[in-house]
Amino acid sequence: MGRHEDRATDGPVSAEDLERYETEIELQLYQEYRAVLPMFRYVVETERRFYLANDVQMEAHGDGPRTYFEIRLSDAWVWDMYRPARFVSTVRVVTFKDVNVEELPEKEL
């Protein structure tokens, strides 16, 4: 039997086991991020997510305290450890918080 099969019959998962699992997933996600970073032009950070994308369009709607931002990303990668597929062709994000968009430096050939 594999490690996960054994664990399923042992009873409840401890907080330590869960923390160890989340730490392993975060490390894998960071390693994936480092591997895919050269494929993208922009880094986009919202209050809920972190994205890499090759095209970013952002519009502010409203005025004053009711202003919100609509961000459209194309050819994107989403930093989300609970998402099985992180590569997405298009993303639409609506947020009332500030958005940070950074263009990555040109890659040297």
Measured CA to CA, the distance from residue 72 to residue 70 in angstroms comes to: 7
> If pLDDT is split at 50, 70 and 90, which confidence band does 8 have?
low
3-state helix, strand, coil in the chain (%, to 5): 30, 40, 30
End-to-end CA distance of the chain: 48
> If pLDDT is split at 50, 70 and 90, which confidence band does 10 have?
low
Contact 65, 87 (CB under 8 A): no
Q: What are phi and psi of 48, to 5 degrees?
A: -110, -25
Q: What are phi and psi of 62, to 5 degrees?
A: 85, -170
Global pTM value: 0.75
